[in-house]
Structure 1
Amino acid sequence: MSIPFPSRLLTTVALVAVSASSAAVAQEKVLYVAAYGGSYEQLMREQIFPAFEKEHGVRIEYTAGNSTDTLARLVATRSAPQIDVAIMDDGPMYQAIALGLCKEVEAAPVYDDLYDMAKVSGGKATGLGAVATGLMYNTKYFAEQGWPAPTSWADLKDPKYAGKLVVPPLSNTYGLHALVMEAELGGGNERNIDPGFTAFKSEIDPNVLAYEASPGQMTSLFQSGQAVLGVWGSARINSLANTGFPVEMVYPKEGAVSLGIIGCPIAGRDTPEAQALLQYLLSPEVQEKVARGYGYGPVNKKAKLTDEEAKGIPYGPEQVGQLRVIDWDYVNPVREEWNTRWTREVER
């Protein structure tokens, strides 16, 4: 029996509506990413993610926060994960891996193009960028004083910097890097940190104007002329230099320290685009854009920067390949103990 025309029309309309609804659902794939806020988030949203979203038919939902915020969020939601890809500093990321929050990174050709420092042991995360922790100094002030540029981690002990030195606290990765390098100067390392505490307590602390964690306050102390020498990361120094303020990054002769920018796919999530996003972020083109736009050193050997673009950024095998990498598997379990000791002995 044939269906009357009005009924056929209603059936057709209903089928079209269902089909359109299904197509909308199919297109509305969402990839949840947790990473840094501020200008990094702006760069990702405006220059990096749109091409990926278009190619993969996915919408990226971005949760901004610092690395400790992201780690805390992952821990709090581990029974029902809500994030597909997390991007954090290397210290917190190694904690995430140890807690079983990350899953295996799938093999892909792009990983063969990375510097060794970007290859995370265990295969559950990958380096995405490199920041070098070194020394920042006010070039104008140094020239006025007739001082040569600093060259060594030992310069933090020089009495001429009394009251004009800024070092992040130990709770900050840059401060931890400084402690480890001072320990090395005294014959120690992560596993023998005593020489570092001795150096800070007896020789460096008298020079320190402030143990400052806030990037905004660090910048303010330099711009006001209160501080002229500090320990900081290359991306931060690069951003300040780009404002026209007379600062430069120094790679100390004993070595700058790597602060790795690490990404991992989150365990308990089954979103194929998570693996694709990590590979996309490691492509030479994206690595170059992030270097130019934010100052992270490329970890893909095929990424190319001009001399001007690479200024102040860890770039190439001589800089990226030789960055001192912290043994986070050892440090993370003892970090709270170090923090307590730092508060008691150094930053009283």
Structure 2
Amino acid sequence: MKNLMAVIAAGVSLFAMNAAQAEEKVLTVGGYGGSFETLMKELIIPEFEAKHDVKIQFVAGNSTENLARLQAQKGNQELDVVILDDGPMYQADALGFCAPMKASPIMDDVYDIAKLGPNSVGFGFVATGFTYNTKYFEDKGWAPPSSWMDLADEKYSQILSIPPISNTYGLHALVMMARLNGGSEKDIDPGFDVMADQVAPNILVFEPSSGKMSELFQSGEIALSIWGSGRTKSLADTGFSAKFAYPKEGAVALMLGACPVIQSNVPDEAAEFINYLLDPEIQVRLADAMGSGPVNRNAVLSDELAEALPYGPEQIEKLVAVDWDVINPAREEWTKRWSREIER
């Protein structure tokens, strides 16, 4: 009887241990902090956890921080999925931190421009263009800005803000100045020349913080900025008279990207989480909560959201893609040059 009880006890113990191990399956996701982290924890993660019987641990950090995390943990990765802006995502993929993505039917519904690299994908579009105070412009009798070269218009002197080149919005502005003045990513000199001589004198402050940029608008210190469509929506949602304007030469695509990280012990769940972010219903949820345009063609937005965000084949085709393969190796030198020549 004692032997039987011992066997039963051992069986119960083994069952409990196996059950505990099953319950302990954890998917670690690295992504942006702040409002994005709140959105994920409130609107995205709980449903995925329930459907896939997995616990998600969210590690907050901006793109630079999470790319550095991947580099610091080479050979012993903490993250199973990483979420980065498209520029750092190209770097992560090129450096071999992204695991091969599993074939999935949902990828057939994703716009080609959102297929970032061999092992990474964009799950939300943000357009870089003009954010402007509609009331201020109406009071002045001004039409909305319509060209990247409007940044050089003296009427915007000291009511304009552009983020520095360390911020993707500022980098996009530099590239477009180069492209429109005879240069390109491979010949950035014209961009620096125009920024230094014609645009910088109009700029009140090179503001990198989205929170402070919002404050500058709300305090009336600025009436125009180079910013993202999602940020503009968030500002407008507070009741402020902000609107996004697409430059006629094209707004620049800034994508929120995701990839499965190498050496994950939950690769299936990592792949499923990325597919989940691409699901049409989740795409609409992301659009409504954080202002990212859907990358899935089958996502259907309300008229109000469709007007505010990059949405639909016609709008997506107009977005401009920058050459990150050229930019990333040069960005450190460009950043030093920006400090010397633009923010001097």
TM-score, with length taken from structure 1:
0.96
User: Which deviates further from its counterpart, 180-189 or 66-75?
Assistant: 180-189
Displacement of 1:17 in angstroms is: 3.2
Contact in 2 for aligned 1:81/1:268 (Cα 8 Å): yes
- The Cα of 1:127 is off from its aligned counterpart by 1.0
Cα deviations by residue, 1:242-263 (Å, 9 ceiling, x for unpaired): 0000010001000000111110
Corresponding position: 1:116 with 2:79? no
- Please list the CA deviations of residues 279-322 of structure 1 after superposition, one character each: whole Å capped at 9, or x if unmatched: 11101111111011111110000000011122321111122232
What are the residue-to-residue correspondences of 1:128-277 with 2, within 5 Å?
A: 128-271=123-266, 272-277=268-273
Query: How much identity, in percent, do the aligned residues show?
Result: 52
**The residue matched to 2:129 in structure 1 has which SS?**
strand
What letter is aligned with 2:341? Answer: E
Say whether the 8 Å CA contact 1:301–1:316 is kept in structure 2. yes
Letter in 2 for 1:190: E
CA distance in structure 2 between the partners assigned to 1:148 and 1:120 by the alignment: 35
| Alignment-mate amino acid for residue 84 of structure 1 | D
How far the C-alpha of 1:13 sits from its partner, in A, is 3.8
Q: Are 1:50 and 2:43 matched, yes or no?
A: no
1:278 Cα deviation after fit: 0.8
- Aligned-partner residue type, residue 136 of structure 2: Y
Provide, for residues 148-191 of structure 1, a one-character-per-residue CA deviation record: whole Å limited to 9, x for no partner: 11111111111011111000001110000001111122122211
Q: Is the 8 A contact 2:26 2:57 kept in 1?
A: yes
2:327 to 317, 331, 335: 331
Cα offset, 1:14, TM superposition: 4.1
For 1:89 and 1:42, locate their aligned partners in 2 and report how far apart those are by CA, in whole Å.
18
How far apart are the structure 1 equivalents of 2:140 and 2:181?
29
Aligned-pair distance for 1:136? Answer: 0.6
Tell me which of 71, 85, 89 is aligned to 1:75. Answer: 71
Aligned residues between the structures: 343
1:100-115 correspondence runs (5 A): 100-115=96-111
Contact 2:123 2:258 in 1 (8 A): yes
Q: Which whole-Å CA distance do the structure 2 matches of 1:107 and 1:18 have between them?
A: 36
Equivalent pair of 2:86/2:116 in contact (CA under 8 Å)? no
From 281, 285, 305, the equivalent of 2:301 is 305
Superposition TM-score, scaled by structure 2 size = 0.97
Distance 1:64 1:150 in 2: 35
1:326 Cα deviation after fit: 1.0
- How far 1:47 sits from its partner (Å)? 1.3
Query: Who is 1:30 aligned against?
Result: 26
- Between structures 1 and 2, the one with greater helix share: 2
- The amino acid across from 1:282 in the alignment is L
- For residue 286 of structure 1, what is the aligned residue in structure 2? 282
Corresponding residue of 1:61 = 57
Letter of the 2:222 partner, please give it.
Answer: A
Higher Rg of the two aligned structures: 1
CA contact (8 A) 1:85 1:266 kept: yes
Q: Given that residues 165 and 228 in structure 1 are in contact (C-alpha distance below 8 angstroms), is that contact kept between their aligned partners in structure 2?
A: yes
Offset at 1:270?
Answer: 3.6
What is the letter of the counterpart of residue 343 of structure 1? S
Deviates more, 1:77-86 or 1:19-28: 19-28
Q: Could you tell me how far apart the structure 2 residues matched to 1:293 and 1:172 are?
A: 22
Asked whether the equivalents of residues 127 and 228 of structure 2 are also in contact (C-alpha less than 8 Å), the reply is yes
Task: State the Cα deviation string for residues 8-31 of structure 1 (Å, max 9, x = none).
Answer: 445434422331221121122100
Q: Which runs of 5+ in 2 are unaligned?
A: none
Separation in 1, partners of 2:18, 2:264: 23
Stretches of structure 1 lacking an aligned partner (at least 5 in a row): none
Does the 8 Å CA contact 1:105/1:126 hold for their aligned counterparts?
Answer: no
Counterpart of 2:134, as a letter, is: T
Partner letter of residue 231 of structure 1? Answer: I
Q: Secondary structure at the match of 2:313?
A: coil
Q: Name the CA distance, whole Å, in 2 between partners of 1:283 and 1:24.
A: 30
Asked if 1:96 is matched to 2:77, the reply is no
